[in-house]
Every structure is written in C-alpha cells, then in structure tokens.
Amino acid sequence: MNIVVCVKYVPDAQGDRGFEADNTTDRQGVDGLLSELDEYAVEAALQLFEAGEGEVTVLTMGPEDAVAAVKKSLQMGADKGVVVTDEAIAGSDSVATSLVLAEAIRKIGEEAPVDLVLTGLASTDGVMSVVPAMLAERLGLPQVTFASELAVEGSTVRIRRDDETASETIESSLPAVVSVTDQINEPRYPSFKGIMAAKKKPVQTWGLADLGVDAAQVGLDAAWSTVVEVTARPPRTAGEVVTDEGEGGTKLAQFLASRKFV
C-alpha cells in the first residue's frame, strides 16, 4: 500500500511567534518544526505500512526550511519525502494549499498509484482543518475525517470517529483521504538508527512549474479570504485565590456559580 502523508512545517508554538505587516505568519528567522498534530498522521502511516507492503511518502509545501518537517518524518521511519517550495506560494490560503498538494500527490502517483492520503487534524498555525476535505474534492476521492482509529482491509479503510455523544465507525473504499486526531496513537520518537537511516533517504524538491500550477493561482494575492487584523492576546491575569477560613467551600461554590459552571 502506498501512503502519502501531508505534513506542515509550522513556527514552534513554544517560541516567539509574530506576524508580517500583511498579517501572514512570520516564517523567517523563527524556529519551525513538524506540526505536532501531523506526527499522529505519520505514526498512523508507519503502523499501516508495518502491517503490509508499500511505502510511505511524506509531502510538505512551504519555505525551503520546510524540509525539516520531512526529515523528522523520515527519521521516524517514512521512506521518502517531497518538498514543494516556490517563492510564489508564500501567503497561500487553504484553497491554494490544497491545489498544490493535490497536484503533488498526482505527480507522486505517476510513479506508483497512491492508495491512501493521510493528514493531521489541523495545522497548529493556520488551524483551518479544511485542507483534507479540499484535497479529497480536488483528487475526486472519498474523505473521512477526525479518525481516532484506522484500519485497512483489502481495498477498504475503516475509521472510528468520536464526538461527545457517539462513536461512529465509517468505511470507505480506497484510495481515500483520511485525517487523524491525536487520539489515534502515540507518535514514536526517532531512534538513533532512524536518524542515521534518514540521511540516506531520498527527498525531492519541486517548484510550481514541476506541478504545472500557475503562480497566479497561489500566494497571498490569490487568497479567497484575508486576515485583516491580528492582535496579540493580553497575558493571563492571576486567578482569584480563595483562602479557607472555614467558608472555603461556600466561596468556591459562589465563584463557580458566578461563572455559571454550577
């Protein structure tokens, strides 16, 4: 089974994050990493691959530094990587992102048909959570999202989807696009052996021209929506301290009631 995992390179949430004058994320000179939620998609691919045959290709679109997200995935155990990078894609919205990723998946499929496209639930910077559905539409494939369990049997993929009231089991034919949640597994850490092995794994770099994508369809100017303002949230203020002088329980209940928690 050939699996493509889409992984995004995002600014490290632990570090200082900022925005450019045009309200896009400042991706220059900030520490980036593989979007944490995408590690679950990589792990899911590796577990499926270990149970069968084929290969796992990781795909990213972003600045040249985005290769780091691919490398981490290769260290975890993926077989090969593809980085789509081009000056014109800076500031792309979900619509453009899905266009580029879909064309890259088509190109990867020219070598060997792609059976499954896996994605994370959402990127930790844009958090749109729509790229998987858009990918499925562009590729003309069924999509199942929010998978907290995933199994493949023959040409069928079966997932479990949980919400607050029910768990659904859904089946779809392959090929398909599946997005996974952070409940699905525990992503592995790259081992020393994995880190050494990753150095020899192939990583291809493609530009828009390699994919036949017109630069006018991507980038900030082509975005269908615009972030008009970004404001930093004020730092959290200290919480209210309830000192127990015999009436602590009552005070706590009053506090919770004032917030409509009880």
Ligand X SMILES: Cc1cc2nc3c(=O)[nH]c(=O)nc-3n(C[C@H](O)[C@H](O)[C@H](O)COP(=O)(O)OP(=O)(O)OC[C@H]3O[C@@H](n4cnc5c(N)ncnc54)[C@H](O)[C@@H]3O)c2cc1C
- Nearest distance, CB of residue 192 and ligand X, angstroms: 27
Q: Which is nearer to ligand X, 61 or 174 (CB)?
A: 61
Q: Give the tokens for residue 209.
A: 């021209």
Q: At what angle do helices 36-50 and 67-76 cross, to 10 degrees?
A: 40
- Nearest distance, CB of residue 18 and ligand X, angstroms: 9
Q: Which is nearer to ligand X, 136 or 174 (CB)?
A: 136
Q: Which is nearer to ligand X, 186 or 240 (CB)?
A: 186
Residue 158, Cβ density class (10 Å: 0-12 exposed, 13-18 middle, ≥19 buried): middle
Residue 53, Cβ density class (10 Å: 0-12 exposed, 13-18 middle, ≥19 buried): exposed
Positions touching ligand X (CB under 6 A) are 6-8, 19, 23-25, 35, 37-38, 41, 59-62, 92-94, 97, 101, 119-120, 122-123, 125-132, 223-227, 230
- Nearest distance, CB of residue 252 and ligand X, angstroms: 38
Q: Give the span between the Cα atoms of 214 and 8, in whole angstroms.
A: 22
Q: Is the dihedral of CA 162, 37, 193, 83 positive or negative?
A: positive
- Nearest distance, CB of residue 3 and ligand X, angstroms: 13
Q: Give the span between the Cα atoms of 183 and 161, in whole angstroms.
A: 10
Tell me if residue 222 falls in helix, strand or coil. helix
Q: Give the tokens for residue 166.
A: 């029910």
Q: Which is nearer to ligand X, 180 or 198 (CB)?
A: 180
- Nearest distance, CB of residue 69 and ligand X, angstroms: 8
Q: Which amino acid is at 55?
A: E
- Nearest distance, CB of residue 104 and ligand X, angstroms: 9
Q: Which is nearer to ligand X, 90 or 195 (CB)?
A: 90
Q: Which is nearer to ligand X, 104 or 152 (CB)?
A: 104
